[in-house]
Amino acid sequence: MKSLSIVIPCLNEEEGISFCLEKIKRVLQKENIEKTEIIIVDNGSTDKSIEIAQEFNVKIIKENKKGYGNALRTGIKHASGEFVAFADADDSYDFLELNKFIQKANEGYDVIQGCRFKKCGGNIHDGAMPFSHRYFGNPFLSFMTKLFFGIKFNDVYCGFRMFKKSIYEKNFYFSNGMEFAVENIIKLFFSTKKYVEIPITLHRDKRKNTISHLKTLSDGFKTLKFILLQGSQIPSLILSAIFMFFSFQYYHKVDFADASYLDSNFLITVAFFFASIQFIFFSLYANLASIYLGFKKNKLLLKIYKFLNFNQALLLSTLLLIFSIFLLINIKLEILNLGNYSLIIGLTILGVSIQLIMNVLIVSILEFFKKN
């Protein structure tokens, strides 16, 4: 490692920031690193945090937009080091353990993630983490992230990590709050194969007069929503299969002797069928969105998306729409001897044609959003 930047977000941390900076200085004095810098990102402190930090000759950057993600993104943007490490300013993460991260970076790892739980050798001191976070919130969010994205880390919410800045810059980041921790670790995981998780200890923070910036319900819900929205491909396909199953169950009850077909079984069949088609396309859209936002890598889907631009999708959906209308008319005219299959095939193609243009439109908007 030739250079290292340590980024610390700070919002009213006068009780703990001096402990953090003293520990960092002690570790860096022992390490053979050519260039180091400590960046404090002031996220609107009204206490003496910044005055204390200035005594340690550190770089101070102000970020007016409140939020954990906003502060870290700004700090990392201004970091000049080959590697970037970040952790909180409340002394809950012991910066004396920074040497473990440096050692792993020198061994050739691009991403080093801390883990506070026993399953990976970590330790949480009494009072360092609320009971609900320790045994429910954090394990559940880590489990959901592993399930939906297949990442190998056991503590995705741990805010003590180190990574190559060049790996970080491969991705586009948009999270403003605590959910940035999850977005960041997912994208780092998919950007390199050289990653490792190391055990660390979580200590009780130094706060006496201020409360934790982590809001259990609101931040937990935001992170869960983030995970579900970005990793919803498999649940969408499961729901699609369920709706399709019920569609076929009611299809067999349709009285095709009735020329109108407008009995309750037919209407329920159509409703379940289109719900199934909707979830199939939502799964496809979610896949494309996850790939485009850097959460997954799928070269085949990207090739399909690049090949099927908006104009081509419009033409294809129009042709499919015309063909579906012809099949539905064929039920009465019997131009093609398809029998009852005209209804099913016609509805299928109709649903596909409508959803195709809608999803390409959504992905086009996503592309515009990313460029701007």
Q: What is the enclosing helix (H) or strand (E) of 357?
A: helix 341-371
- Predicted local distance difference test score (pLDDT) of residue 93: 96
Task: Using the structure block, give the residue that is written with the tokens 């900076």.
Answer: 21
Pick the CATH number of 3-229 from 3.30.360.10, 3.40.50.720, 3.90.550.10, 3.40.190.10: 3.90.550.10
- Predicted local distance difference test score (pLDDT) of residue 67: 92
Helix (H, G, I), strand (E, B) or coil at 253: coil
Length of the chain as a residue count = 372
Question: What is the identity of the amino acid at 138?
Answer: N
CA atoms of 95 and 102, how far apart (whole Å): 11
- Predicted local distance difference test score (pLDDT) of residue 211: 56
- Predicted local distance difference test score (pLDDT) of residue 263: 64
Please report, for the chain, the start and end positions of each structural domain, with discontinuous segments joined by +.
3-229, 231-371
Q: Are 314 and 336 in contact (CB under 8 A)?
A: no
Q: Are 357 and 281 in contact (CB under 8 A)?
A: no
Sequence-ordered strand ranges (E) for the chain: 3-10, 35-42, 59-62, 83-86, 111-115, 123-124, 161-164, 195-199, 201-202
- Predicted local distance difference test score (pLDDT) of residue 56: 94
Helix (H, G, I), strand (E, B) or coil at 259: coil
Ordered per-residue pLDDT tens for the chain, 372 residues: 899 999 999 999 999 999 999 999 999 999 999 999 999 999 999 999 999 999 998 999 999 999 999 999 999 999 999 999 999 999 999 999 999 999 999 999 999 999 999 999 999 999 899 888 889 888 988 898 888 788 889 999 999 999 999 999 988 888 888 889 998 999 999 899 999 999 999 999 987 765 565 666 666 777 777 776 666 667 777 888 898 888 888 877 776 655 455 567 777 877 888 788 778 777 777 777 677 666 666 666 666 666 656 677 778 888 888 888 888 787 777 777 776 667 777 777 887 787 777 766 766 666 665 555
Question: What is the identity of the amino acid at 241?
Answer: A
CA atoms of 95 and 57, how far apart (whole Å): 17
This prediction's pTM:
0.72
- Predicted local distance difference test score (pLDDT) of residue 233: 67
Question: What is the identity of the amino acid at 20?
Answer: C
- Predicted local distance difference test score (pLDDT) of residue 112: 98
- Enter the tokens of residue 59: 């770089």
Q: Are 260 and 285 in contact (CB under 8 A)?
A: no
CA distances from 346 to 224, 243, 246, 258 (A): 38, 18, 19, 19
> Nearest-5° angle of CA 35, CA 41, CA 46?
140
> Nearest-5° angle of CA 148, CA 151, CA 41?
105
CA atoms of 250 and 267, how far apart (whole Å): 9
CA atoms of 96 and 226, how far apart (whole Å): 32
Nearest to 49 by CA among 214, 215, 206: 206
- Predicted local distance difference test score (pLDDT) of residue 16: 94
Q: How do strand 59-62 and strand 201-202 relate by DSSP bridges?
A: unpaired
323 CB-contact burial (10 Å; exposed 0-12 / middle 13-18 / buried 19+) = middle
